[in-house]
Amino acid sequence: MVLNGIGGRTVAEAKQRISHREFTGIWIPFLNKRGSIHFGRRIEVAAAQTTAAAYFGRTKERLSAHDFMPHEEKPERKVASGDEIKKMLMGR
C-alpha cells in the first residue's frame, strides 16, 4: 500500500497513520474485492483483457485474460456438472 502512496511514504508512516481497524475493515476487503492497486499490474490486466477480446473476435478459440498475463498465476478451472448448472440457474 505504501508503494501506492496510501498511508505515507514509508512503512513506519503508514503504521502511524492507518489504524489496524481501518486496515482490516476497509483495505483488506477492498483488496480482496478489487485486487492489487499496483499501477503496473492494472495496466497488464487491461492489456490482457483487450488482447483476449481481440483474439476471440478473430478465432473461435476461447481464451481468458489470464492466458495473456505471464506474471499472474492462472486460476484453476472447475468444470460444473449439469446438476450444478441447474442449481446455479435456479438460484438454489
Residues 35-80 have pLDDT tens digits of: 777 778 888 888 988 988 888 778 777 778 888 888 777 777 666 6
Nearest to residue 72, comparing CAs of 42, 27, 50? 42
Q: Tell me, what amino acid is at 54?
A: A
Kindly report whether the global pTM for this prediction surpasses the value 0.85: no
Rounded to 10 degrees, the C-alpha dihedral 61/62/63/65 comes to 140
